[in-house]
Amino acid sequence: MITKPKLSFWQIWNMNVGFFGIQFSFGLQQTAVNPIFSFLGAHHEELPLLNLAGPVTGLLIQPIIGAISDKTWSPRFGRRKPFFLIGAIVASLCLFMFPFSSELWFAVGLLWVLDAANNTAMEPYRAFVGDKLPDEQLTYGFQMQSLFVGAGITLANFSLFLFQDWFSVPAIEGASLCSNETEIITAIPKWVYYSFFLGAIASIGTILWSVLKTPEIPPSEEELNYIKARNKNASFLHRLIEPFVEIYQAIGEMPKLMKKLAGIYLFQWYALFIYWQFITPMLRSSMFGISNEDTKRFDSIIEACKTGSEISIADTKFAQNIQLLSEQALAQTGLMNGTYNFVTMIVALILVPIALRFSNKLVYVGSLFLTGIAMISMPYISNQYALLVPMILLGIGWAAMMGIPYAMVSKVIPEKRRGVYMGIVNMMIVIPMGIQTLTFGPIVKNVLGNDAINAILCAGFLFVIAGLLALRLKGKPNDSLEFDNQK
């Protein structure tokens, strides 16, 4: 077994910098992609299904890439780095192209490619962090990762808020709704382009920093001999099916901790996907007063515009006002999401000594309850800045959710299967998201009154359930013994 040296602060910092770019991309997906779908004509009940790309690509790509990277080694390129470098290059190209989407189908297709690229980068990167760190530094390393997760999503969201304020084009009074003098809601506002261009630069730039600054630990002599023999003797068919067999076997031998975590993740990630899809529609209703009837009237005006019909001055002013309020709702989402991720960035490392003092379990349970309280309170707050208070709670929760579970899992999985097990953790994330995309559209339409406010309240109660389930985890302060009983 290879003895891993303890790393310095700056070595752990450089190793995690690439998460900034990956999470900038995810931040744009969380905040801007669903409003872009709405700009291009999508309705509330269609949003969950339009987000199917994330769950499907995550389910298929991360565990497969993880299993492949476990059995890969290049003296020149390493084990994990080629995968997250390729993913970053493709993601950067997608981010650059995304705001040029002129049709809904094109934007949805790009989302599939973008999600595939981000998932190709994400899983080997998480395994890379685990590969490099000794057990006593795992919590610190994954919380540093959480810091960069928060920083990337923070900048992505604040860029949307600031660019809308700086570059939004006001409607010209008296201009025709169908003329080039005014942006209509079925076109992506120009200020959104700049955030995506910034994301494209961040994605490839930060990954390159980590790739160039952080060497990988070579495999042991035993691992290296196995990899050489496998590459020499295994047939193409064997190599093709081997990752699937590896995933199946790993699931069968999954530690007890991961089985319990799967139940918690079902509610946690189902709820988070609801939040990301419906926070902007909620704000359109709760903060800016746009009703479903207003949206239907607006859609009818836009359809008339597309068919060349003459639009009255009253309808023109109404549509332009809805457009302006919708852009402000997107900008407010950017401010709110940026705030909670800024809090994540600040508290991520503060949680490390707290977790050591009170146990990872208690920190994680507390994070789930805080997030539930935040979401249940949001629909009842209409002030722009008062809405930032629940974002503080959500930021603390997000900091724990993005670091603590990975540190817990990393201590109970075998070193030689770290890649495949980190991929399985991602399966535990994307399966609830997949269930949400297939089920929540009918739920919000037929059970929740097609009301985005009710959707966010539902997400809050699901987080409370996740917190109750997390109480089943075993946890002790200074948790070196916590994991021995859960393997």
**pLDDT per residue as tens digits for the range 51-65:** 888 888 877 787 778
Are 61 and 119 spatial neighbours (Cβ–Cβ below 8 Å)?
A: yes
Q: Rounded to an integer, what distance in angstroms lies between the CA atom of residue 475 and that of residue 304?
A: 61
Residue 257's contacts (CB-CB under 8 Å, 6 or more residues apart) are 408, 409, 412, 473, 483, 486, 487
The pLDDT confidence band at residue 231, using thresholds 50, 70 and 90, is low
Which residues share a beta bridge with 74? 78
Phi–psi pair at 4, nearest 5 degrees: -95, 130
Are 5 and 131 spatial neighbours (Cβ–Cβ below 8 Å)?
A: no
Average pLDDT over residues 65-87: 80
Specify the pTM.
Answer: 0.71
Dump pLDDT digits (tens) for 244-287: 787 788 888 888 888 999 999 999 999 998 998 899 889 998 99
Write the DSSP symbol of residue 387. T
pLDDT at 173: 47
Where are the alpha helices (H) located in 168-235, listed in sequence order? 190-213, 221-233
Neighbouring CB atoms inside 10 A of 170's CB total 9
pLDDT at 486: 45
Which residues share a beta bridge with 78? 74
Average pLDDT over residues 96-125: 87
CA torsion 36-40-41-43 (nearest 10°) is -20
The pLDDT confidence band at residue 317, using thresholds 50, 70 and 90, is confident
Q: Does 229 have pLDDT greater than 60? A: yes
The pLDDT confidence band at residue 184, using thresholds 50, 70 and 90, is very low
Are 32 and 215 spatial neighbours (Cβ–Cβ below 8 Å)?
A: no
Pick the range with the lowest mean pLDDT from 21-30, 73-82, 400-409, 477-486.
477-486
pLDDT at 89: 93
Q: Rounded to an integer, what distance in angstroms lies between the CA atom of residue 279 and that of residue 265?
A: 20
Nearest to 35 by CA among 128, 215, 157, 153: 157
